[in-house]
């Protein structure tokens, strides 16, 4: 019997409360599981893995020549969010993304937030992803972040906290959709009875969002998805989304710029493109403006944007909004632009560039989580309590050399979730990445990508570093 | 359709067809050896060299191997990743092209190629081959046929499909001509001088290499005759691997892409392909032998290259610029003095 | 007039460029007219203000071409700087400017001017004992003029400030970078200025006038931004025409861009400045 030996070990557990009783919204799944044997569960699990591999639902691991394609490990045990909790998250995330978009509009035009002393100019101007080239460029409908993948965690009391706003080109949404498919196949009779809100209309909403932000409100705009190419780790996802939306997936070399307009090269000649959903970083998007050695981008694209003949999602320069220093100011942004109190909490942040914080960081380095201000994917990160002496000292030197590039946060004991580990369920740390779309309205697909650190005790959930994923169920009700 | 996508569809289809042809060629030639008594090194060399030539990779082979024997040639043409025309390279290239346009093809097509890829990548592949090459090559042929069948039944028959057909038939015409050309290398200058049991076995093998043995015998009841075999493989209008059949289907698929009517052409590739169709339609095997079979086949191969180039110039010219040499250069700047 | 020719050994295409060629209008000069001509003429041009409020012309030549010609003609009226330069410039007034959006970029290191302890040490030594910012700046300028040799050909357009420091030689672009490095590392906001320098036909100048000129502007408390030319060891005056300003050369390159083609290129630039009245 599953869960006989399960222990929450004092962490906040998504499924069981502190007394060890199952939470109401997990009752149904627990009942379903109790009818399964270990062998049957294992069979279902293997079938799902195999179908992922067959379908080529893989990601690429860099620096590994053989077997470069791996499946993103999937854990069958779903993460479940009751309706009231989700409504709260929706409100909080909507508020946050609106504030971030107002911030970007402001910081690339009037800069009121600097002039009124809310954020020091130096934090913005020193941001690696602040694009001076994009000052005063008009963006259709003033939406900068169209697609946001905000990372949420829960602390030891179960409070949701924002960990990161991924405002550049967040990935992972295809796993969310494929995971749901896998769950339906694995539990064909149970699933319809579980009262789970569907996630399948994400692609449609995404297409609506892209069409809504076409230049000059153009009707029936031609949208394309710009990918760095099939060697990119998220190429599977790019294909998946393009196909679901029914739009072309293009590489940089498929596009040309003529007369400050963007065209794609087709067998019938050149066809004009209005909206580009780009999955390629700012640095590589236009070699005539950013990195000249980029072979992935489209020379002249930025000029076409300046001329207002094309729009791209997300806009160039949104990276300043997910700079980890600027992150600390998001609550202030919400107060400044919206005159509201932030709904969602976030993690306390210390700046290595501030003298007072710097001293504190240096004295408590082995007790803190240190992050590089502009990296994503769990790279450039130190988890003080788990790091070796040498790692701590290496970081100390790096922080001293470039304080602007580092922040520190107290470690948060992420909530845990029962996860299959060789024959039984054990608690593993999880986070949650909901996907937020900003078009005519802000919409959040009911669910998200729950990432799980598969290694016992690990807090790192990134796919490149031993993470897996779970299907995330948002229920119609609270049980 | 994006030019790049058309390009990938075309090459995906060509590579699959190529893998199939090489696999069959090897299989038949391995079996052929069983019909002979033990052969010495020279004889073996004589047997295998034309096969390498038919694959079009003579130079590379000589670079990589000392001697042409069953072991080296089959390895070179089956498993060698350095050889772009080996079965494994072709299958990988087909799958890689498919991967680049995965969103454009059906899941079935993708899964078929991906399955083939996983099989070839596994240790199992080599084991199957060692247990019996026949089973191995059969597997490759099956993948190819499965893929073509799935393409037919799960992929919309629109522009992309036509590009695939063009790729397939161009490759098939090319390979059939090369396989037939092998015989020239074995044959003496005068066709009439040869005959006898061994030769009949060889011509039979040739037909098998083109999957044509049964089809041939359903038309010609008599024993295998070089003139008739050549006629069949070049000019038969109903056998799906003959050159004329391939060229006609190539041409009609080209027309479906542009929508132009037979008898007219709307671009250069249709012009060169249409010309080849009428040249072949109004020639027969005597004309081919008159100019010399080898010369005639050589002429055809040149025309195939011409069609391939025109194809590229007409539909793919927008395709990816050669990034290695045509990288965006920085405009020179003047120092302020 | 500022004319630039690019001659490519074989045809190139997809040429996408930015031009910083239009002189600024401010308190000390007025750009009366500006005209930008191209050959080939099939050029698309778009004009915008950049982050530093310079006029920038984005233009593209997509068709295949072997010669690209860009000619900028401008008429500029310059005025004498009437500000009082005898007021005191206390360094304390510079404290905290690094947090201000108008000065941050001119105090931080930039692409060509990386700040380093070595440069800071040098700067501190040069201004030791001077407590007025204007005098500090003028001392730095004098130091560069005395210690660095004007030597065309010893550096190139991509040289950075550390290299110039090592060889102690260079041209106006390098001198400006050195001055920027020294001033910024002691907290004086300093920016790079690209422009033209009018030399009367009779005067014997060591400076070859076929290229555009470069100098710096420093922010002096109680006065404002003041131009200094370390190449000539003088404050700028009405014979200087300011075209663009930025953190360093990279922000104000008269012409910059990319093209597609594997061609080698020959460039020649002529600049001529004439006094109209």
8 A C-beta contact, residue B10 and residue B167: yes
Which stretch of A73-87, B145-159, B223-237 has the lowest confidence by average pLDDT?
A: B223-237
Residue of B nearest to A241 (CA): B103
* B105-119, B208-222, B281-295: least confident range: B208-222
Q: Tell whether the model's pLDDT for residue A425 goes beyond 50.
A: yes
- Shortest distance between the Cα of B319 and any Cα of chain A, in A, equals 7
- Among the partner residues A120, A132, A256, nearest to C51 by beta-carbon distance: A132
Q: Which CATH architecture is the domain C2-79+253-271 placed in? A: Sandwich (2.60)
A172: nearest Cα among A123, A234, A248, A92: A234
Residue C213: alpha-carbon gap to chain centroid: 7
B75's CB contacts (< 8 A; 6+ apart) are none
Phi, psi for B3 (deg, rounded to 5)? -60, -40
Interchain contact A60–B (C-beta under 8 A): no
The pLDDT assigned to B260 comes to 86
**How is domain C91-252 classified at the CATH fold level?**
C8orf32 fold (3.10.620)
Question: Distance between the two ends of chain A, CA-based, in angstroms?
Answer: 23
Is A287 in Cβ contact with B103 (below 8 Å)? Answer: no
What does DSSP assign to residue A310?
-
- Enter the tokens of residue C127: 């201004």
CA distance C140 to chain A (A): 26
Does pLDDT of A70 surpass 50? yes
Q: Which residues of C touch A (CB under 8 A)?
A: 14, 16-17, 44, 46, 48-51, 58, 60, 62, 98-101, 104-105, 108, 257-258, 260
User: Residues of chain C with pLDDT > 70: what percent?
Assistant: 96
Structure tokens, A33: 């599981």
Spatial contact of C135 and C93, defined as CB atoms under 8 Å apart:
no
- pTM, full prediction: 0.83
How many beta carbons lie within 10 A of that of residue A76, not counting itself? 21
Quick check: A265 and A256 in contact, CB under 8 A?
Answer: yes
In whole angstroms, what is the distance from residue C45 CA to residue A133 CA?
17
Q: Which two tokens stand for residue C167?
A: 């060889």
B107 shares contact with chain A (CB less than 8 Å): yes
- Given this model, what pLDDT does residue C202 score? 59
Q: What is the pLDDT of residue A63?
A: 45
Which of the other chains make 3 or more beta carbon contacts under 8 angstroms with chain B?
Answer: A, C
Residue of C nearest to B321 (CA): C260
Residue of A nearest to B107 (CA): A55
ipTM (interface predicted TM): 0.88
Neighbours of chain C (3+ CB pairs under 8 A): A, B
* Mutate which: A119, A303, A353, A355, vs C, most C CBs within 10 A: A303
pLDDT computed for residue C203 by the predictor: 56
Model confidence band, residue B167 (pLDDT cutoffs 50, 70, 90) = very high
Q: Distance (Å, rounded) from C-alpha B293 to C-alpha C245?
A: 75
- CA-based nearest distance B75→chain A, Å: 21
pLDDT of A65 over the 60 cut: no
Say whether residue B111 is in contact with chain A using an 8 A CB cutoff. Answer: yes
The DSSP line for B17-74 is HHHHHHHHHHHHHHHHHHTS----HHHHHHHHHHHHHHHT-HHHHHHH-S--SHHHHH
As a whole number, mean pLDDT of residues A445-462 equals 90
Q: pLDDT, tens digit, for every residue of B84-100?
A: 999 999 999 999 999 88
Q: C-alpha distances in angstroms, C81 versus A294, C89, C133, C180?
A: 45, 17, 19, 22
Buried b (16+ CB within 10 A) or exposed e, C94-108: beebbebeebbbbbb
Chain A: closest CA distance from residue C45 (Å): 9
Nearest CB to A121: which of C17, C60, C100? Answer: C100
Q: How far apart are CA A307 and CA C36, in angstroms?
A: 19
Domain ranges of chain B: 1-155, 165-318
Residue of chain B with shortest Cα separation from C260: B328
Is C24 or B291 the better-scoring residue by pLDDT? C24
The mean pLDDT of chain B is: 86
**pLDDT (0 to 100) of residue B289:** 87
Task: Choose the closest CB to B3 out of A56, A267, A299.
Answer: A267
pLDDT at C87 over 50: yes
In whole angstroms, what is the distance from residue B106 CA to residue B160 CA?
Answer: 12
**pLDDT: which is higher, C216 or A288:** C216
Write out pLDDT tens, residues A273-286: 999 999 999 988 98
Q: How far is A285 from chain C (nearest CA, A)?
A: 14
| Chain segment B185-203, per-residue pLDDT in tens | 655 444 444 455 566 777 8
In chain C, CATH 3.10.620.30 sits at 91-252
Chain B: closest CA distance from residue A315 (Å): 24
Q: Quick check: A7 contacting B, CB < 8 Å?
A: no
Under the banding of pLDDT at 50, 70 and 90, the label for residue B161 is very high
Is the CB of residue A75 less than 8 Å from the CB of residue A468? yes
| Residue A236 touches chain B, beta carbons under 8 Å | yes
Which contiguous run of DSSP H or E holds residue B328?
Answer: strand B328-330
DSSP B336: P
Q: Which residues of C fall within a CB distance of 8 Å from B336? A: 171-173, 176, 194, 211-214, 249, 254
Torsion sign (Cα): A132, A133, A138, A139: negative
Most confident of A81-85, C38-42, C99-103: A81-85
Chain C positions in Cβ-Cβ contact with residue A256 (cut-off 8 Å): 14, 62
C59 vs B146: CA distance, rounded Å: 53
How does residue A376 score in pLDDT terms, banded at 50, 70 and 90? low
- Strand, coil or helix: what is C50? coil
The answer to whether residue B320 scores a pLDDT higher than 50 is no
Percentage of chain A with pLDDT > 90? 60
**pLDDT at residue C42, rounded to an integer:** 75
Closest CA to C134 of C87, C181, C93: C87
CB contact under 8 A, C261 and B326: yes
pLDDT in tens, A175-230: 899 899 989 988 888 888 899 999 999 999 999 999 999 999 899 999 999 999 87
- Most confident of the ranges A61-75, A238-252, A439-453: A439-453
- Residue at token pair 């004295």: A363
Q: Specify the range with the lowest mean pLDDT, choosing from A159-163, A362-366, B54-58, C178-182.
A: B54-58
Q: Could you give the maximum distance between any two Cα atoms of chain B, in Å?
A: 90
Q: Which residues contact A204 (CB under 8 A, 6 or more apart)?
A: A245
- Does residue A59 contact residue A234 with C-beta atoms inside 8 Å? yes
d(CA B179, CA B51): 8
Selecting from A132, A133, A258 the residue whose C-beta is nearest the C-beta of C62 gives: A258
Q: Is the pLDDT of residue B318 over 70?
A: no
Measured CA to CA, the distance from residue B80 to residue B61 in angstroms comes to 10
CA dist., res. B63 & res. C59, Å (int): 51
**Which A residues in the span 279-338 are in contact with B, Cβ-Cβ below 8 Å?**
287-288, 292-293, 295, 299
User: For C195, phi and psi rounded to 5 degrees?
Assistant: 180, -155
Which of A126, A257, A306 lies closest to C48 in CB terms? A306
CB neighbours (10 Å) of residue B310?
18
| Residue ranges of chain A whose CB lies within 8 Å of a chain C CB | 111, 114-115, 120-122, 124-126, 132-133, 135-136, 256-260, 287-288, 292, 299-300, 303, 306-307
> What share of chain B in percent tops pLDDT 90?
47
Q: Walk me through the domains of chain A, giving residue ranges and CATH numbers.
A: 201-313 (3.40.50.11290), 351-409 (3.30.1490.270)
CA atoms within 13 A on the CB side of A349: 23
Average pLDDT value for chain A: 90
A18-34 pLDDT per residue, tens: 999 999 999 999 998 88
Contact B331 C260 (CB under 8 A): no
Mean residue pLDDT of chain C comes to 90
Q: How far apart are CA A220 and CA A311, in angstroms?
A: 14
Task: Give the per-residue pLDDT at A67.
Answer: 46
Question: Residue B292 above 90 pLDDT?
Answer: no
User: Is residue B223 predicted with pLDDT exceeding 90?
Assistant: no
Q: Is pLDDT larger for residue B33 or for residue A363?
A: A363
Q: Given pLDDT bands bounded at 50, 70 and 90, which one contains residue A423?
A: confident
Which has the higher per-residue pLDDT, A63 or C164? C164
Evaluate if residue B322 carries a pLDDT over 80.
no
Q: Do A288 and C16 touch (CB under 8 A)?
A: yes
Please tell me the predicted confidence (pLDDT) of residue A59: 63
């Amino acid at each position: 019997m599953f869960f006989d030996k399960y222990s929450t070990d004092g962490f906040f557990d998504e499924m069981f409360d502190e007394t060890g009783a199952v939470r109401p919204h997990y009752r149904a799944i627990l009942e379903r599981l109790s009818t399964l044997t270990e062998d049957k569960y294992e069979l279902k699990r293997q079938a799902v893995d195999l179908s992922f591999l067959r379908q080529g639902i893989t990601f690429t691991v860099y620096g590994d020549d053989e077997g470069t394609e791996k499946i993103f490990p999937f854990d069958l045990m779903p993460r479940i969010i009751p309706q009231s909790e989700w409504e709260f998250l929706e409100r909080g995330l909507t508020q946050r993304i609106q504030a971030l978009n107002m911030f970007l509009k402001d910081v690339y035009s009037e800069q009121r937030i600097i002039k009124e002393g809310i954020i020091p100019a130096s934090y913005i101007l020193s941001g690696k992803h602040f694009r001076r080239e994009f000052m005063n460029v008009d963006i259709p409908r003033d939406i900068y972040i169209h697609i946001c993948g905000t990372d949420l965690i829960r602390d030891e009391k179960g409070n949701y906290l924002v960990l990161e706003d991924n405002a550049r080109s967040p990935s992972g949404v295809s796993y969310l959709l494929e995971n749901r498919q896998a769950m339906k196949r694995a539990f064909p009779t149970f699933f319809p009875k579980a009262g789970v809100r569907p996630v399948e209309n994400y692609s449609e909403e995404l297409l609506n969002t892209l069409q809504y932000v076409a230049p000059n409100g153009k009707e029936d705009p031609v949208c394309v998805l710009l990918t760095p190419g099939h060697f990119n780790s998220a190429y599977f996802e790019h294909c998946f989304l393009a196909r679901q939306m029914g739009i072309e997936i293009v590489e940089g070399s498929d596009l040309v710029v003529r007369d400050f307009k963007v065209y794609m090269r087709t067998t019938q000649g050149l066809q004009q493109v209005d909206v580009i959903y780009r999955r390629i970083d700012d640095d590589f998007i236009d070699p005539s403006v950013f990195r000249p050695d980029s072979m992935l981008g489209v020379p002249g694209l930025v000029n076409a944007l300046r001329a207002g003949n094309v729009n791209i999602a997300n806009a160039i320069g949104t990276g300043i909004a997910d700079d980890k220093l600027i992150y600390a100011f998001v609550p202030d942004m919400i107060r400044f632009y919206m005159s509201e109190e932030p709904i969602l909490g976030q993690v306390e942040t210390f700046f290595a560039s501030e003298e007072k914080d710097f001293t504190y960081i240096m004295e408590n380095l082995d007790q803190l989580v240190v992050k590089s201000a502009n990296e994503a994917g769990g790279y450039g990160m130190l988890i003080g309590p788990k790091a070796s002496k040498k790692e701590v000292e290496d970081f100390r030197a790096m922080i001293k050399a470039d304080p602007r590039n580092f922040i520190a946060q107290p470690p948060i004991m992420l909530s845990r979730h029962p996860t299959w580990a060789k024959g039984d369920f054990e608690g593993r740390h999880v986070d949650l990445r909901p996907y937020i779309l900003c078009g005519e309205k802000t919409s959040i697909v009911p669910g998200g990508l729950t990432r799980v650190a598969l290694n016992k005790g690990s807090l790192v959930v990134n796919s490149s570093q031993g993470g897996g994923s779970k299907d995330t169920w948002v229920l119609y009700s609270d049980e | 359709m994006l030019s790049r996508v058309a390009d990938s569809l075309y090459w995906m289809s060509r590579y699959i067809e190529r893998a199939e042809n090489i696999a069959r060629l090897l299989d038949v030639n391995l079996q052929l050896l069983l019909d002979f008594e033990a052969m010495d090194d020279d004889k073996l060399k004589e047997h295998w060299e034309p096969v390498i030539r038919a694959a079009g990779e003579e130079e590379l082979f000589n670079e990589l191997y000392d001697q042409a024997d069953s072991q080296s040639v089959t390895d070179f043409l089956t498993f060698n990743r350095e050889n772009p025309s080996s079965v494994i390279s072709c299958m990988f290239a087909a799958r890689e092209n498919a991967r680049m346009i995965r969103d454009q093809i059906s899941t079935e097509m993708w899964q078929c190629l991906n399955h083939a890829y996983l099989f070839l990548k596994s240790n199992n592949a080599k084991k199957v081959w060692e247990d019996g090459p026949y089973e191995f090559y059969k597997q490759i042929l099956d993948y190819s046929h499965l893929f073509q069948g799935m393409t037919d039944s799960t992929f919309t028959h629109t522009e992309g499909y036509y590009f695939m057909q063009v790729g397939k038939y161009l490759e098939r015409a090319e390979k059939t001509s090369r396989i037939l050309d092998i015989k020239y290398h074995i044959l003496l200058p005068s066709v009439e001088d040869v005959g006898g049991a061994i030769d009949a076995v060889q011509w039979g093998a040739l037909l098998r290499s083109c999957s044509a043995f049964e089809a041939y015998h359903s038309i010609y009841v008599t024993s295998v005759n070089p003139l008739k075999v050549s006629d069949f493989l070049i000019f038969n209008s109903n056998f799906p691997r003959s050159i004329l059949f391939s060229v006609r289907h190539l041409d009609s698929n080209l027309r479906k892409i542009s929508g132009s009517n037979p008898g007219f052409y709307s671009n250069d590739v249709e012009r060169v392909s249409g010309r080849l169709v009428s040249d072949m339609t109004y020639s027969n095997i005597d004309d081919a032998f008159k100019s010399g079979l080898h010369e005639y086949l050589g002429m055809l191969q040149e025309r195939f290259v011409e069609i391939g180039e025109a194809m590229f110039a007409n539909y793919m010219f927008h395709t990816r610029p050669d990034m290695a040499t045509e990288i965006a250069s920085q405009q020179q700047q003047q120092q302020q003095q | 007039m500022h004319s630039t020719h690019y001659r490519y050994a074989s045809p190139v295409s997809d040429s996408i460029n930015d031009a910083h060629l239009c002189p600024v209008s401010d308190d000390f000069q007025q750009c009366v007219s500006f005209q930008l001509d191209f050959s080939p003429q099939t050029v698309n041009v778009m004009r915008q203000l950049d982050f530093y409020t310079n006029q920038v012309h984005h233009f593209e030549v997509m068709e295949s071409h072997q010669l690209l010609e860009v000619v900028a003609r401008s008429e500029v009226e310059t005025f004498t700087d009437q500000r009082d330069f005898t007021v005191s410039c206390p360094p304390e007034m510079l404290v905290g400017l690094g947090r201000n959006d108008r000065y941050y970029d001119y105090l931080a290191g930039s692409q060509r001017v990386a700040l380093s302890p070595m440069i800071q040490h040098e700067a501190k030594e040069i201004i030791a004992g001077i407590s007025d910012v204007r005098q500090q700046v003028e001392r730095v300028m004098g130091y560069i003029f005395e210690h660095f040799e004007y030597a065309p050909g010893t550096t190139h357009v991509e040289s950075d400030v550390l290299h110039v420091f090592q060889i102690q030689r260079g041209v106006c672009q390098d001198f400006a970078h050195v001055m920027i490095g020294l001033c910024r590392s002691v907290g004086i906001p300093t920016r790079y200025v690209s422009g033209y320098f009018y030399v009367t036909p009779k005067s014997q100048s060591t400076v070859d006038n076929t290229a555009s000129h470069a100098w710096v502007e420093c922010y002096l408390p109680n006065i404002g931004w003041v131009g200094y030319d370390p190449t000539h060891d003088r404050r700028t005056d009405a014979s200087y025409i300011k075209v663009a300003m930025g953190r360093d050369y990279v922000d104000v390159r008269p012409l910059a861009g990319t093209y597609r083609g594997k061609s080698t290129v020959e460039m020649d630039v002529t600049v001529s400045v004439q006094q109209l009245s």
